[in-house]
Amino acid sequence: MTACKLLRQVSASSRGYGLNRESGKLRHRNLPLLLLQAREHVISRFRPILNAHGITEQQWRIVRALIDTGPLEPREIGELCRISSPSLAGVLSRMEELGYIKRKRLDHDQRRVRVSLAPRSRALAARMAPQIEATYRDIETVIGAEFSTRFYRALDELIGALSIRAPNAAADE
């Protein structure tokens, strides 16, 4: 069952809104909390690798995003990595100081900047890659390859569906 079908089914089975009269509880499970708990269980497997290489979770999200997409503007990085603009400004400054990123003004609009990976962060990612990939294999061993594939698909569908139906909210971090 896809994420969207599951959400529709849960919504359809919950008659009305608000608290359940018998239990006093909300009718829906706490999806944001469940997603945060799942995130913590996943990131806890990667955190030792990040710590061993001296890179923060936010910095790694940015490096990984730039590896996957290529150069981006800070606004795009914030949206993709779910980092608020004020936090992102500090993180990017620190990453530039460390030699992880390069910033370049756009020729056609000097107000805009494009952020790209510096050779140092590419080398760091290459050093980390065997451990990162081993961790993904370990997770897949625990949850199963089929579940992993379905879960990625469901997450993609959930993100796509909810980003279409709701205005883009500001990042909380």
What domains sit in the chain, N to C, each tagged with a CATH number? 30-164 (1.10.10.10)
Give percent of the chain above pLDDT 70.
85
d(CA 152, CA 71): 24
- Under 8 Å between Cβ of 124 and 99: no
Report CA-CA distances (Å) from 33 to 7, 29, 83, 101, 160.
15, 9, 18, 33, 20
Query: How confident is residue 173, by pLDDT bands cut at 50, 70 and 90?
Result: very low
Short-list 121, 114, 80, 82, CA closest to 98: 121
pTM confidence score? 0.80
Phi, psi of 54 (to 5 degrees): 70, 35
Amino acid at 26: L
Angle between helices 119-143 and 57-69 (to 10 degrees): 100
How many of the other CB atoms lie within 10 Å of CB of 30? 10
**Distances 13 to 9, 23, 27, 111, 150 between C-alpha atoms, Å:** 6, 16, 9, 50, 23
Specify the amino acid at residue 74.
P
User: In this structure, what token pair is assigned to residue 156?
Assistant: 């993609």
pLDDT, tens digit (0-9, with 9 covering 90-100), for 73-131: 999 999 999 999 999 999 999 999 999 999 999 889 888 999 999 999 999 999 999 99
pLDDT value at residue 25: 87
**Residues 11-24 pLDDT 10s:** 544 455 677 778 78
7 pLDDT higher than 90:
no
